[in-house]
A and B are shown apart, each in its own frame.
Chain A
Amino acid sequence: MAARSSRLSDKANRISESFFEPRALAVIGASSHPDKVGYAVLANIIKSGYAGKVYPVNPKAHLIQDLECFHDIHDVPDPLDLAVIVVPAVHVPETVSELAGRGVAGAVIISAGFREVGIEGRKLERDAVERAHAGGMRLLGPNCLGIMNTALPLNATFARKMPPKGNIGVISQSGAICTSLVDWARSEAVGFSKLVSMGNSADLVESDFLEALAQDDDTRVIAMYLEGVSDGKRFFDTLSVASKAKPVVFLKAGTTQAGARAASSHTGALAGSESAYNALCMQAAALRASSVEELMSLSRTLATQPLPQGPRVGILTNAGGPGIIASDAGEKADLTLAQLSNTTVSRLRRYLPAAASLHNPVDILGDADAMRYAIALEALIEDPGVDAVLVILTPQAMTEIYLTADEIIHIARNSIKPVVVSFMGSGSVQAPVNRLQKAGIPNIPYPDQAMEVIGRMYERQLQIKMPLSREVKFKVDKAAVDKLFASYAARDEIQVEAEDCRKVLAAYGIPFAPYLNASDAEEAKKAASEMGYPVVMKIVSPQILHKTDVGGVVLGIKNAKQLADAYDDMMSSVRRRMPSAEIYGVGIQKMVPEGRELISGIIKDPQFGPMIMAGLGGIYVEAFKDVVFRLAPVTPGEAARMLRELHAYALLEGVRGEKPADVDAVEEVLMRLSQLACDHGALVEMDMNPLMVYNSGNGCTCVDVRMTLGG
């Protein structure tokens, strides 16, 4: 058995031991019929070269695939670490009980016919999990492909083949994606360390295996295919910890409306929103791939190459066109073309033909032989102004494809800077490319995609260097808001009234324009004189959502006389236009001075919990959709980054001689909102629009706010 790191948590340790490194395992439902899953699984275990003991269990056979078969789990003589279950769903709960009774630590349930088929299946699944837990056993699946460990080796799946041994750990919520990745890995010479197919995730979920792989010494990069997560909060925490240890690249499917619809009927769970997954990546420092192709090319590059220490890329090419394509892609990926040093340029001049381009991209011309590639590559790697090198090769008449590949392998192997190659084409370059890939030099056939991957590698480098920022706790009146929200729950009401919204803001130290409800003109007058003119008057009625449309908003009321007139006008106007609306009265709000209008608020994501939102506010919210999200809690660092991600940040900095806005005050509001969201899970939605931001030093004020409760 491979030695395991002592950093392993107990839980991850147990999962690793029983699922990845079992000393003995049983296949329940093993079969001698080649068309049965029970045959394929047992055959794969044997073929993979698994060195532990294997016990087929089947009541109807004596010998299966040359192994002694046991009629009953209780007949198996030795202690078992793992069981692979392939019996029909109805027998699974009972099988689980028997295994748990024998003290088996884990089981992989490959059988289908559970949650995915309806109510009865769901009951069976729950029953199996309860029985497992009662006996201290953990389950992977059901309805999954199985599990692989190339280092042991063990292939406890019904996939056709094993991937090569390597250091990418794969976790997938789709068994079919697993089999495709394995097939691809074999043809592209990409090595996997472990592969886990999650199936229905009835017991163990993606976070469990993420935790295990984060601590697995054989795994250098974790690649995940996700359709949703089982527990967003836990996934966030696990991903944050895992990403500190090694890069985690994930592909989240179902990003569009059509995709989300497809995913929802596949998983039966509401996936988190796109905004939540983007925020998750940002905050947990994970890398999100946008296609299966990127998932694999990025994982494989991360697994084989060092990270670039900076954004400066040197491009080496034997043709002009691809060099230009790569340059374009580099800029889009936030990379820069390295400015080559004089030393490098004169070194290149000495060895390269006069027609060659000595500046980045370095074009060593169509007749470049392997030696020219070698000289130029060495020069680029040694230039202190270069952080990464992309080598482009187009197969031309004089090109020494094999020799060039060998030279690159030789040089890149000893490089502390990443080298990515782009041998364009597929026919004549195929064999040399295989040689490169086997040597751990990733080939990405299109130079633009290769640049994107280098860009993502640099993103990883930035994530690692990101300073740690800790959540700040403000002194707030949590109890007051608890009490207020409880009163809504007691009345079974979910829309928080305007006046109560202000109480919540006050309790959390978020500045707002003074506001009071008034049930008649007398009270309105009193409220206005209390807060001081000028004031705004708004109709208060549960049926009137668009107040302005029915004459329900009057701005800039300067005195009592104007207020009385405005009140009468408003009542007749509203009564005429909405005779059946129930009018509670009016709200009187202090007029605030003009400022820069932002929007900010809270949206509870079904998987990840509260998200804090900030964006360009006022009437432009819908038009520009310039908003950013973060999962709560929001740290000072995240609050600052949020605002800087907005296009509207330019407005906050001040355009054309404007003074800069009070960004610090807005950041503090975002953190206070985050605390409010974390303290009160019942708050499912909150909008402050506009949040009026004043010049630096003058703070900001919430003008209008809405809250929805729901738990």
Chain B
Amino acid sequence: MSAIIVVSSERFSGKSSLVVGLALELRDRGFKIGYMKPVGAYPIKVNNEKVDEDAYFVREALGLTDPLTEISPYFLTWDNMTRYMRKTPPNPQSRVKNAYNKLSEGKDLMILEGAQNFLHGRILNLSALELADVLQAKVLLLDTFNEELSVDRILSAKDFFGHWFLGVVLNWVPPRRMDFTKNLLGRYLTSQGINMFGSVPVDRVLRSITVNDLAEGLNGSIICAADKGDELIESMMVGAMGQEQALRLFRKQANKVVITGGDRSDIQLAALETPTKSLILTGGHRPSPLVLGHAEEIGVPIILVDYDTATTVEMVEAAIGHQKMHSPKKIERIRGFIREGFDLDLMLEEIGMHIFR
């Protein structure tokens, strides 16, 4: 059995997505894949148990049945950090090791997800380097592309992880820099003895949020075209101007949600005329029946919320910034990127699994 740990230099860099994509692709090749996230960050409550949010979704996406407490044994919230500073918990490494042993039973490959960055977890002796040592896992770096910083970060990561370092994947690469990462940067890293497995471009779909998730986050109700709840929203616009200005503005942004008052039929219709995935009507006002009927007809869900516009905008901004990946469309998208842009064969060879092929 082999193990890799996916780490990043920044948070929100797409580790969970990469883990799901890799796991599903490898599973298609016949491998049995296990998953664990030893140190989590953002807990949610599932069946009265606190569990890392990302870990929960990866588990769901992969259809695993292992107990959540084993998959995600620790999380480092501020609250926990202060507690651990007062009293160090007894041997977290062995608790992780035990869970890992159970989770990896009968598996060909364990994919571990690192904490927020590769230093995070050190307080529990569970930073990425320590985990690599304890679990004999190779470290795969997911680097959020930055023209000026990426190269040095990657070179330093290799120095830091030493023989555990497996290589790097670049994420959020602007389309115009894809050629650069594949050619000049790829050649340079190879010459430095670093495996460059691939690069994933900036992708609007992966940044997006579904209509259903947005409605849920806003405690809103979808009052028409509910069958379009899986549609993905990439951006947000607010409508408080005249109809003609609204139309001009709304045309400039595709796949958006438009936030406006329930009494502004003109804005609502202007939004429906342009590439809009959903309307959020604030203040609890219902739209005109004519607008409602039109929206239903063209399949654009209307979300009714009780908040005022300013509050709604804040909430939607936060929701679109911190996107989740658990929509089937997104998972398919990630798999597509891995099939096209990730050198799986190279990775399998590097972790000694190519012989199974």
Chain A interfacial positions (CB closer than 8 Å to B):
115-119, 121-122, 257, 260-261, 264-271, 273-274, 492-495, 519, 582, 584-585, 603, 606, 684-685, 708, 710
Contacts and interface: CB of A to CB of B under 8 A. Distances in A.
B242 interface: yes
A273 B251 contact: no
A265 B288 contact: yes
B248 interface: yes
Contact of B243 (A117, A261, A268, A494): A261
A498 B265 CA distance: 35
Given A122-B296, A708-B252, A710-B275, A265 B290 contact: yes
Given A264-B243, A270-B272, A606-B270, 6 more contacts: A115-B289, A116-B290, A265-B263, A269-B269, A270-B273, A274-B244
B242 A260 contact: yes
Given A116-B289, A494-B275, A685-B248, A122 B297 contact: yes
A242 to B, nearest CB: 27
A260 B270 CA distance: 11
B290 A270 contact: no
Q: Which of B204, B263, B265 has the most CB of A within 10 A?
A: B265
Contacts of A260: 242-243, 266
Given A261-B266, A494-B251, A494-B252, A582 B290 contact: no
Interface in B248-263: 248, 251-255, 263
Q: Which of B251, B263, B291 has the most CB of A within 10 A?
A: B251
B247 to A, nearest CB: 7
B292 interface: yes
Contact of B291 (A268, A492, A519): A268
B265 A261 contact: yes
B162 interface: no
Contacts of A270: 243, 247, 266, 269-270, 272-273
A200 to B, nearest CB: 9
Interface string B290-331: 111110110000000000000000000000000000000000
A246 to B, nearest CB: 32
B266 A494 contact: no
Given A118-B293, A495-B252, A685-B248, A264 B269 contact: yes
A618 B122 CA distance: 59
Interface in B201-245: 204, 224, 242-244
B251 A267 contact: no
Interface residues of B, number: 34
Nearest to B291: A268
Chain B CB count within 10 A is highest, among A266, A267, A268, A584, for: A268
Nearest to B225: A119
Contacts, number: 96
A119 B296 contact: yes
A708 B244 CA distance: 16
Nearest to A575: B148
A606 B273 contact: yes
A494 B272 CA distance: 16
Nearest to B179: A519
Contacts of A492: 204, 254-255
B93 interface: no
A121 B288 CA distance: 13
Contacts of B268: 264
22 contacts: A116-B289, A116-B290, A119-B224, A119-B292, A257-B242, A257-B266, A260-B242, A261-B243, A265-B263, A268-B265, A268-B269, A269-B290, A270-B266, A273-B244, A492-B204, A494-B254, A494-B275, A519-B176, A585-B176, A606-B270, A685-B248, A685-B252
B150 interface: no
Nearest to B242: A257
B30 interface: no
B352 interface: no
The residue among A519, A584, A606 with the most chain B CB atoms within 10 A of its own CB is A606
Contacts of A684: 251
A668 B197 CA distance: 54
Interface string B48-63: 0000000000000000
Give the residue among B247, B293, B297 with the most A Cβ atoms within 10 A.
Answer: B293
Contacts of A119: 224, 289, 292-293, 296
Contacts of B297: 122
Ranked 6 nearest A-B pairs via Cβ: A268-B290, A118-B289, A122-B293, A265-B265, A264-B265, A265-B288
B264 interface: yes
Contacts of B244: 273-274
B193 interface: no
A489 to B, nearest CB: 11
Interface in B167-215: 174, 176, 204
B274 interface: yes
Nearest to B247: A606
Given A264-B243, A708-B251, A121 B266 contact: no
Given A261-B266, A606-B273, A268 B242 contact: no
Contacts of A603: 248
A268 B294 CA distance: 7
Given A270-B270, A584-B174, A118 B251 contact: no
Contacts of A685: 248, 251-252
A59 to B, nearest CB: 30
Contacts of B254: 492-494, 710
A274 to B, nearest CB: 8
Contacts of A264: 243, 265-266, 268-269, 288, 291
Contacts of A116: 289-290
A269 B243 CA distance: 12
Contact of B292 (A118, A271, A584): A118
B251 A710 contact: yes
Given A118-B289, A264-B266, A494-B275, A584 B242 contact: no
A270 B295 CA distance: 13
A670 B242 CA distance: 27
A494 B252 CA distance: 7
B341 to A, nearest CB: 17
Contact of B289 (A121, A257, A274): A121
A685 B244 CA distance: 12
A440 to B, nearest CB: 42
A687 to B, nearest CB: 10
B290 A267 contact: yes
A265 B252 contact: no
A271 to B, nearest CB: 8
B299 to A, nearest CB: 12
Nearest to B148: A575
